[in-house]
Amino acid sequence: MIVQGIAQQEMTNSAGDVPLLEVRGITKSFPGVKALQDVSLRLQAGEVLAVIGENGAGKSTLMKILAGVQSPDQGQLLINGREVNLTSVNDALHHGIALIHQELNLSDNLDVAANIFLGREITRFGVLQKKAMSKASGEFLKQVGLKISPQALVKEFSIGQQQLIEIAKALSINAKILIMDEPTSSLSHGETQTLFEIVHMLRSRGVGVIYISHRLGEIKELADRVVVLRDGQRVGELQSEEIRRERMVSLMVGRDIDQFYERSPYPPGETLLEIDRLRTASFPQQTVSLRVRRGEIVGISGLVGAGRTELLEAIFGVTPAISGTIKVRGKVVKLMHPAQAIESGIMLVPEDRKQHGLILEKSVKFNSSLPSLSRFARWNCFTNRQRETQLTKHAISILKIKTPTVEQIVKYLSGGNQQKVVIAKWLEMSPELLLLDEPTRGIDVGAKEEIYHLMDHLAGQGMAIVFVSSEMEEVIGMSDRVLVMREGQISGELQRSELSEEALMQLAT
């Protein structure tokens, strides 16, 4: 480790004192708000620099400026010591800066080679040279460790593989500076490891990587240096040995968070849910059996694609199970539609909140009252608007949803607040079993802490909670008991005292 550190040091020195990229005093305002205020940073060749901060801290704006999407009001950008003026994405690409956005920018109806060369197609007399592009793409794909055909359509690949295709694309333009915005937010553990290896490989080649993530564990593992932003200002920098979770969190939030994961010991109550030999359509050969008691928080761990979401969706009746029995409070229930699950007191906060959790163009009130409308309707038919407003206001105050009014369109809320609106939908209906699928994905530290607190509080009131998470720290921190899934079945169960990352990984792979 130490040797590596020295080698690293030498390399940056050998690159000279001129940094690969220097940002000097960047300020950017949007109408009514200062997104960035006098932010400076340096990136050396062969370095991984993590930029962290809560949502709204200015990370995205900074990255957009570096990628030429937006231009700063004040300040300078220097590449290899020379001032540059990036006015477009092409400009940035020309200077060797590539941005890999958290929402992938591939055209999934085109093949891999076409995506890698999109906008820079190899042509002869205006005719596409597909063979040449395919061949060149193959080289870059090999470098990122993808063994796929350049002629295959992008949509055939997993999100993780698509991410790697994006990186291959960045390699193909010979990027010297690679900006990665939340690259692992939808990757499985294995894919994340592959990504890390590639980042290490890029670093050893002298590429400067700017890495943005909410997952502090990753940053600890990957980053040489961390720059922290808060409210558009640079509030601190941590060198390699200082990169620790508590330091990062307190800089991001601006105060100490003493207990990030809260889990008060409650005695679990009677059995609420019993699942016996359930088979889902995605894994028809495997059966799953489990029990959940009141007041218990059960974590479901495992790799992406291990059947965790499918299990929750079968329990919620979104994609009904093909066989097996589900008992709630000792009675067999048929769950063929979410309406029936809700009737039995089972509610799901889905993994993809934008697709399944919310109607983005509608208001906080519209969304939060949607499932409970029928419950509060007059004569089962007419809406009760006072009640809706009252309930929404109540949810806003307990969940601390930051929204100007109940009529605010949810699209304009931050990720954390959107997630709270999804939770608000169910909270008013007092679920007995709450299913949470990746409840803290893509939301900032402050909101995460609040959601953990809420989970603990609800379990204390006797609610049973089953949550799926790809973040092992979260699973370990919050669960009373963890079920690990692998290829559609439960490969093991760990009690709170037995939890460790190694134990989880062993069962998951």
Partner 1 sequence: MKKVLGILALFLAIMAFTAWNSSNFFSSYNMQNLISRISLYSIISIGAAMVIITGGIDLSIGSLIALTGTVLPYLLTEKDWSVFAAVLATMLLSLFIGLCHGLLITKLRLQPFIVTLFGLLFYRGIARWLTNDQSVGYGGDYPHLTSWVTGRIALPGLSDPQEFHLPAVCLFMIVVTILAWFFLNQTIFGRYLFALGRNEEAARYSGIKTQRYVVLTYVICSGLAGLGGILFSLESGSVQPTGFGNFYELYAIAAAVLGGCSLRGGEGTILGVVIGAGILLLLRNTINLLGIPSSLEFAVVGGVILMGAIADELFLRLAVFARSRRRGVIEKDSRIAERTAQ
255 burial class (0-12, 13-18, 19+ CB within 10 angstroms)? exposed
| Nearer residue to partner 1 within complex by CB, 129 or 233 | 233
| Nearer residue to partner 1 within complex by CB, 213 or 344 | 344
Closest CA to 87 of 63, 65, 58, 118: 65
Shortest distance (Å) from residue 93 CB to partner 1:
28
Shortest distance (Å) from residue 371 CB to partner 1:
4
The set of residues, in sequence order, having a beta carbon less than 8 Å from that of 487 and lying 6+ positions away, is 283, 286, 306, 307
Shortest distance (Å) from residue 411 CB to partner 1:
10
**What token pair was written down for 257?**
């968070």
| Nearer residue to partner 1 within complex by CB, 134 or 367 | 367
Shortest distance (Å) from residue 467 CB to partner 1:
17
| Nearer residue to partner 1 within complex by CB, 291 or 354 | 354
Shortest distance (Å) from residue 350 CB to partner 1:
6
Neighbours of 390 (CB within 10 A): 14
- The CA distance from 243 to 418, in Å, is 30
Shortest distance (Å) from residue 412 CB to partner 1:
6
| Nearer residue to partner 1 within complex by CB, 338 or 492 | 338
Enumerate long-range contacts of 317-321, CB under 8 Å, 24 or more apart. 317/341, 318/348, 319/280, 319/281, 319/282, 321/278, 321/279, 321/280, 321/281
What are the residues facing 24 on neighbouring strands?
A: 76
Shortest distance (Å) from residue 324 CB to partner 1:
22
**What token pair was written down for 289?**
């059996």
| Nearer residue to partner 1 within complex by CB, 142 or 255 | 255
| Nearer residue to partner 1 within complex by CB, 16 or 254 | 254
Interface residues with partner 1 (CB under 8 A)? 30-34, 56, 231, 254-255, 316, 318, 337-339, 341-342, 348, 350, 355-362, 366, 370-371, 373-374, 377, 381-383, 402, 404, 412, 425
- The CA distance from 386 to 448, in Å, is 31
Pair 178, 209: CB distance under 8 Å: yes
Shortest distance (Å) from residue 179 CB to partner 1:
24
Report the C-alpha dihedral over residues 42, 44, 47, 52, rounded to 10 degrees. 10
| Nearer residue to partner 1 within complex by CB, 173 or 370 | 370
- The CA distance from 36 to 45, in Å, is 24
Residues in the chain: 509
Parallel, antiparallel, or unpaired: how do β-strands 271-279 and 323-328 relate?
Answer: antiparallel
Shortest distance (Å) from residue 181 CB to partner 1:
21
Closest CA to 140 of 170, 110, 179, 102: 170
Enumerate long-range contacts of 9-16, CB under 8 Å, 24 or more apart. 11/45, 11/46, 11/206, 12/44, 12/45, 12/46, 12/47, 15/44, 15/45, 15/46, 15/206
| Nearer residue to partner 1 within complex by CB, 19 or 439 | 439
Query: How many alpha carbons fall within 13 Å on the CB side of residue 134?
Result: 12
Shortest distance (Å) from residue 33 CB to partner 1:
4
| Nearer residue to partner 1 within complex by CB, 348 or 485 | 348
Angstrom distances, CA of residue 500 to CA of 359, 378, 474, 475, 479? 38, 51, 11, 10, 12
